[in-house]
Structure 1
């Protein structure tokens, strides 16, 4: 791949002050909507999510030795496991599961350092990963629709109160996101979620759904509601919580690898080789562990910010680091946290309908891009089992405190079926992705 003559800032170039601030703010806006949406959906602090996002990004840059300009924000893949973990044992249980998800990243990074990465791609080919991604999206569909339709979406089924006002606000939010994504150009096309949240919020104000009392009473400077182990809660180990989160972490590893490949093409560097997947995965894992220690959701590299890099052609890690510092600073502004908490559930429901659908559709796209042949019974069986077990909420209870359920069970069954069913390709199609990028350098 030839050197791009139009690069504005290369990876290790330091921008001037005006470039630094303006470009970092763009990255902040790109990640903001999605990063704060996850904690709002799982009832964690959005301020803590911003703090963990900023700290995680800075740690990632250090671990990858300033060679990967990647921003880390809240991961949507862990929404369902976080909700289940909180139901089992409160925020402490969710943080325990998040911690072990980060540990899995570290262990896989160690194995990749010793054995290379191809074993991982053979373990998690598209026929396993894509249906699990579909499960992640569709498994949350009921939650999104409930938020859009009801005044009290968290209430028992018999007590739910339907609201025409709520569904209209949700539909308007969806319309704004679709218009932004379809008709806007450049940077604004990359932040349809943020534009949708802002537009839906304004409509909600006129609809009388917004309570500003919390914003008025909030202080400008306020410590985020950090959740520290041994201080905020006493950690207790639970196999059930661990098994809710770990299988999802295994699947999100492939998302990380995909982002590294795309980012390599954008910045004209083979990031798979240098600093290597072991370094980038370790950085991602450390970011998740940091989130678990302060009460934030698991993090992941963000496609939105890769898009910003592609548009601006400013690849400097100093710009990404500046966005991390800004996110950390924003987390201490109490008015912002209160404003985020005042967003009506109808708006979040509309945004969620789009985002969860996109997650499911991205799984379908992976199947199409890898030309998965469903005339082959092997592929048909693996995908069928994953989809029905995952969306249907099947579970296996081993003891009173330990069970495998839903998405976790579906992911594990998919991996096992892929390993044991006959007719497995000798050279999995997903390896072509790495061959493609290796041949370009």
Structure 2
């Protein structure tokens, strides 16, 4: 992306009458994806909004207000959260998220001490690319099941109505993504969910009882205080040492399922920072540094784990908003975070989100999970990985089959390393063991810091 003259630079404060509008744009950009993750994993969408807001504010503080990035729910952790929740409940998922945040902190410390070359050796594109593909393809059956079957049934019951709603939702999302321009092209998920929701209402599969109850509570309140109490409600937080004891939940199985994904998302995070640096025209990998950025991501994930929300990550959708609006102000990002926190406490918003049919979310997920898999392919292409080399072919093939096939290792009665986590671990080990490591690094630019533009280049691009 070419960097252009900033309408508002990183540390500029917008005028009050523009601040709300600019912040709402970022809220809309992240909203659809952020609520989809808790919807799929059984967590609270309201808590996800609150945790993304607090996580973003923490990130801005840790990066000293120098990186305009918004953090929302991470798609990479959907499958491990679902798996951990089956055996250890939401408490187990939160413990796993906290451990993930600690890994971010450890990696940030190592980067500050030794730079990024060791990370490149551990996680070259030939490992990360196929693992990302596995994450997307591993979730494919979840999306299709949500699109085709009646929800809440013990056995799968096919529903033509639900499939039609899912396909209409998918079509709206694709149209918005391809044909809409400007800011609207950045929120196709939101358009898909809204359009699919409206169509689902015409098919009679939307349960609005929760919305009606919220409205009845607001209209029946006899005073201003009563109305405010009816509008604002505390989300269903899951707090350690209050709702559960982490020391009773923590296990090696949870660690084995969650931690490997942290390594993959750290690589994705680095890619986001490179794109963001190019958009804004500042080298964020150098100042304030990748170590601070990764630490901020880790702290945001730990904050989410203390509230009952999914792990957080920087959002490409919001980077797109920055590129189009040329408003790079961290105050605008902070404003979006505050609004997200407020929205999380509004009961009516929670009721509306809860009423979205699974078929609508399934339709959106078909595209989103496919995009995740495709982004893994793109990483391999961008880094010019040569599959004529047997080494690269072997590593990618093993990762794909183990990850998508659902292989697992039963360590003991309580510990099982399965699917995507096992694929990631074996991929890392194969890369370290097999000779010719440089062949898996491609062009070697995955962790290469972008160069800041010279004054001459800025004049050429119309910046100076």
Q: TM-score, normalised by structure 2?
A: 0.92
Report the CA distance shift for 1:433/1:137 in structure 2 as closer, same or farther (over 3 A). Answer: closer
CA displacement at 1:16 relative to structure 2:
0.4
1:146-161 matches, within 5 Å, as 146-152=145-151, 155-156=153-154, 159-161=155-157
Partner of 1:97: 96
Report the CA distance shift for 1:427/1:139 in structure 2 as closer, same or farther (over 3 A). Answer: closer
Partner of 2:337: 324
Conservation of the 8 A alpha-carbon contact between 1:126 and 1:430: no
Conservation of the 8 A alpha-carbon contact between 1:121 and 1:430: no
Partner of 1:267: 280
Partner of 2:352: 339
CA displacement at 1:434 relative to structure 2:
4.6
Q: Does 1:384 align with 2:383?
A: no
Residue 211 of structure 2: SS of its match in structure 1?
A: helix
Conservation of the 8 A alpha-carbon contact between 2:60 and 2:66: yes
Conservation of the 8 A alpha-carbon contact between 2:3 and 2:278: no
Residue 11 of structure 2: SS of its match in structure 1?
A: coil
Distance 1:348 1:403 in 2: 30
Which deviates more from structure 2 when the two are superposed, residues 55-64 or residues 223-232? 223-232
Q: Does 1:230 align with 2:241?
A: yes
Q: Does 1:371 align with 2:394?
A: no
1:9-408 matches, within 5 Å, as 9-152=8-151, 155-156=153-154, 159-218=155-214, 219-235=230-246, 236-408=249-421
CA deviations over 1:136-156 (Å, ceiling 9, x no partner): 00001111000000012x644
Distance 1:3 1:213 in 2: 48
CA displacement at 1:426 relative to structure 2:
7.7
Distance 2:279 2:352 in 1: 35
CA RMSD of aligned residues (A): 1.5
Report the CA distance shift for 1:125/1:215 in structure 2 as closer, same or farther (over 3 A). Answer: same
CA deviations over 1:225-280 (Å, ceiling 9, x no partner): 00001211222211101111100011110000000000000111000000000100
Query: How many pairs were matched up?
Result: 437
CA displacement at 1:431 relative to structure 2:
3.2
CA deviations over 1:164-184 (Å, ceiling 9, x no partner): 000000000000001000100
Distance 2:322 2:239 in 1: 34
Conservation of the 8 A alpha-carbon contact between 1:210 and 1:342: yes
Distance 1:173 1:31 in 2: 18
CA displacement at 1:220 relative to structure 2:
1.7
Report the CA distance shift for 1:86/1:17 in structure 2 as closer, same or farther (over 3 A). Answer: same
Report the CA distance shift for 1:139/1:435 in structure 2 as closer, same or farther (over 3 A). Answer: closer
Q: TM-score, normalised by structure 1?
A: 0.97
Report the CA distance shift for 1:95/1:2 in structure 2 as closer, same or farther (over 3 A). Answer: closer
Gaps of 5+ in 2: 215-229, 455-464
Conservation of the 8 A alpha-carbon contact between 1:125 and 1:430: no
Report the CA distance shift for 1:440/1:389 in structure 2 as closer, same or farther (over 3 A). Answer: farther
Report the CA distance shift for 1:155/1:380 in structure 2 as closer, same or farther (over 3 A). Answer: farther
CA deviations over 1:369-388 (Å, ceiling 9, x no partner): 12211111100000001000
CA displacement at 1:363 relative to structure 2:
0.7
CA displacement at 1:217 relative to structure 2:
1.2
Report the CA distance shift for 1:430/1:60 in structure 2 as closer, same or farther (over 3 A). Answer: farther
Residue 97 of structure 2: SS of its match in structure 1?
A: helix
